[in-house]
Amino acid sequence: MAAAASDVMFFILFSIIGSRIQQGLDVAGFCCNCTILWLLKRHHNKLAMVLIWTTMLTHIAIGTLLAGWDSGYFYYLLMFVPTIIVSTPRRTALCMLAALWCFYQGLFLVTQLIPPIQPIAHQAWYLLSAFNATVVIGTVSYFIFTYHRLATQFDETLKRLATTDPLTGLFNRRHALDTAIRESALFARGSRDLSYILADIDHFKSINDLLGHQAGDAALVAVSEALRSVTRVQDVLARWGGEEFLFILPGTPRAGATELAARIREVVAGLEPLAGIGQITLTFGISGQRTGETFDNAIARADIALYEGKRAGRNRVVVAPEDHAPPLHEQAA
């Protein structure tokens, strides 16, 4: 469409200048560009690319021979460079760029040997050169901005895929580990409190064994949505593995994590029973980061508290002690 619009503008320009041959050239170019658009809509991409190259190189050569080298038609050769580099294999791209360079040098030598076939007035020549430069700079800039936007979107997509769990849409274990390392470093500098909640779906293995993995997936998705609904802006929620979820709670003491776990239990208890599964419950293990402790040890203590809750009957919140002396404190359902 942009090329066809350029042909129309060229036609108007040469109508003002009074160059009938150039007008005829622009009419032919407009027809070719319409044909290219028709081919692209019908997915004849290879044939369309051949016609694009043929049309543009022919237009550049004839326009330069008619108006002279200083008319600026050779600028359009620059439009091929980013397209070749981005869309073709390296070896093929080098060959095509070499051919483009040879075309440029050959056209330049010819214009040094013969005068313009249809010379135009100096003012018209300046207008034509400026117009050609403007079209090329605008087109190349549009291409580069478009490529940059697509590359940025692609990079964001890759980052999202690398950090999220495909089933639940929550952060994955890798992202949770990176976050825990960063937050534990902040805790070590005394910046703020840090707590962890491990939550595990009760009797999940029985759901998979008796009802199949589709039912297990449905339970995971339902629980994930419930957990997400109570996650605060500063919290990080991740699928830790299998049916287990991890909350990383920056700026939250152990007591605050306990209150949050209790609220999560209420939200999960309010879920509609899933077909064939019934009411879903969770067991929680909570730990607060200790001074001088690694995040691995802090999460391991939350894991111990979680399994203590499992052994005690499930569907409960168990808090790991702050020191090694007292026993685990359990909040039953």
Confidence of residue 327 (pLDDT cuts 50, 70, 90): very low
- On whether both 311 and 217 belong to a single domain, the answer is yes
pLDDT greater than 70 at residue 9: no
Give dist(CA 243, CA 239) in Å, integer: 8
- pLDDT the model gives residue 133: 83
- On whether both 17 and 74 belong to a single domain, the answer is yes
Question: How many other C-beta atoms are found inside a 10 Å radius of the C-beta of residue 15?
Answer: 13
pLDDT greater than 70 at residue 179: yes
pLDDT greater than 70 at residue 318: yes
- On whether both 87 and 22 belong to a single domain, the answer is yes
pLDDT greater than 90 at residue 146: no
Residue 293, phi then psi, degrees to nearest 5: -100, 140
Average pLDDT, the chain: 84
- pLDDT the model gives residue 326: 44
- On whether both 8 and 134 belong to a single domain, the answer is yes
Of 161, 189, 220, which residue is a domain's last?
A: 161
- pLDDT the model gives residue 107: 92
Exactly one of 156, 225, 243, 322 is catalytic; which is it?
A: 243
Instruction: Assess whether 272 carries a catalytic annotation.
Output: no
| Assigned token pair, 226 | 């419930």
For the chain, how many structural domains are there in total? 2
The helix-helix angle for 213-230 and 204-211 (nearest 10°) equals: 140
pLDDT greater than 70 at residue 21: no
Q: Comparing 79-83, 117-121, 140-144, which segment has the lowest mean pLDDT?
A: 117-121
CATH number, domain at 189?
3.30.70.270
End-to-end CA distance of the chain: 67
- On whether both 89 and 190 belong to a single domain, the answer is no
Give dist(CA 126, CA 12) in Å, integer: 16
Question: How many other C-beta atoms are found inside a 10 Å radius of the C-beta of residue 98?
Answer: 10
Give dist(CA 79, CA 26) in Å, integer: 18
In a domain, 167, yes or no: no
- Mean pLDDT across 173-182: 92
pTM of the predicted structure, to 2 decimals? 0.62
In the chain, the amino acid numbered 34 is C
Which residues face 282 on adjacent strands? 201
- On whether both 115 and 177 belong to a single domain, the answer is no
Q: How does DSSP classify residue 272?
A: P
Which residues face 245 on adjacent strands? 199, 239
Q: Which bin fits 108, alpha (ψ -120 to 50), beta or left (φ > 0)?
A: alpha
Higher pLDDT among residues 172 and 7, named by residue: 172
- Contact yes or no for 246/299 (Cβ under 8 A): yes
Range of the domain at 156: 2-161
- On whether both 12 and 147 belong to a single domain, the answer is yes
The residue assigned the tokens 């939200």 is: 267
- Contact yes or no for 292/302 (Cβ under 8 A): no
b (16+ CB within 10 A) / e for 128-142 = bbebbeebbeebbee
- pLDDT the model gives residue 69: 87
